[in-house]
Amino acid sequence: MITAGIDCGSKNTKVVILEGNNILSTASVLSGFDQEESAQQALNSALEKAGINREDIKHITATGAGMEAIFFANDNVTTVTSDGRGAFFFFPSARTIIDIGAEEGLVVKLDENGKVKDFGINEKCAAGAGAFIEAMSRALEIDIEKMGELSLKSTKQIPMNAQCTIFAESEVVSLIHQKTAKEDIIRAVHDAIADRNTSMVRQIGIEKEVALIGGVANNIGFVDAMNKNLGFEILIPKDVVSPEYVTALGAALVAQDKIGG
């Protein structure tokens, strides 16, 4: 049975088309002001890549911040559920899932069967999410894709006092004026956001294994900072699919459960 999961994120809308346990295709489109249109575009792109038609999909489940706007979906499911389902599929040993997106962060606790037993959401403050790194990359005039690797080249740890994205931008500008090495500044940026997120995870309670999903998981500098903060290595889905698709994958799996596929 072929199903599709649509993750309507605040920055990107992601689609995963699934058949049984096989991922047929993935697609990602910038979330525009018309959520449904973006979702449609992403779905079309994924259909094309998979070489199938819309009718071949038996069930579509939407998830993510903008899920309620997707009228063509059969149903929707909370991001917490999708995160849990998707991460567990990759790592059956995972008990704590951290999902960091563009505008919010989630922590989901699972039991040994992959069922959600607790969760926490960190939203409405950009400083704990991807928007923070993005704003800093603009202030530093560096490509966001390069932020991670540059942070690993840092030789000195410097403190970052500002806890707000807006104030941090001004702080970064002053650090640049003081001729601080960009790599050190970038590392401070990653340390700050990792610090905030590990605190939130500690509030919910850490149980190994810990998995990290969501777009920011692609940032090796951030992952390194998280590992250092936690004192062990976190699991990141790679190879099969990129971490930002795990939520959509989770939704597609939920769709399968629904139709018994």
Among 72, 138, 203, 208, which residue sits at the site for another protein (rule: CB under 8 A)? Answer: 203
Distance in Å, CB of 246 to another protein, minimum: 24
Note whether 33 binds another protein by CB under 8 A. yes
Distance in Å, CB of 173 to another protein, minimum: 9
Among 111, 117, 153, 166, which residue sits at the site for another protein (rule: CB under 8 A)? Answer: 166
* Site size for another protein (CB under 8 A): 29
* DSSP label at residue 157: -
Nearer to another protein, 92 or 205 (CB): 205
Distance in Å, CB of 164 to another protein, minimum: 5
**CA angle (213 as vertex; 207, 218 as ends), nearest 5:** 125
Note whether 144 binds another protein by CB under 8 A. no
Note whether 93 binds another protein by CB under 8 A. no
Contact 2, 19 (CB under 8 A): yes
Among 158, 174, 233, 238, which residue sits at the site for another protein (rule: CB under 8 A)? Answer: 174
Note whether 170 binds another protein by CB under 8 A. yes
Of residues 10, 243, 36, the one with CA closest to residue 44: 36
Nearer to another protein, 93 or 170 (CB): 170
Max Cα-Cα span within the chain: 61
Q: Is 232 exposed, middle or buried (0-12, 13-18, 19+ CB in 10 A)?
A: exposed
- Is the backbone peptide bond immediately before 209 cis, with ω within 30 degrees of 0? yes
Buried b (16+ CB within 10 A) or exposed e, 36-53: bebbbbbbebbbeebebe
As a whole number of Å, the CA-based R_g of the chain is: 19
Distance in Å, CB of 71 to another protein, minimum: 20
Q: Is 61 exposed, middle or buried (0-12, 13-18, 19+ CB in 10 A)?
A: buried
Nearer to another protein, 31 or 82 (CB): 31
Residues 102-121 interacting with another protein (rule: CB under 8 A):
103
- Catalog residues that contact another protein under the rule CB under 8 A: 33, 103, 122-128, 131, 135, 161-167, 170, 174, 177, 195-196, 199-200, 202-205
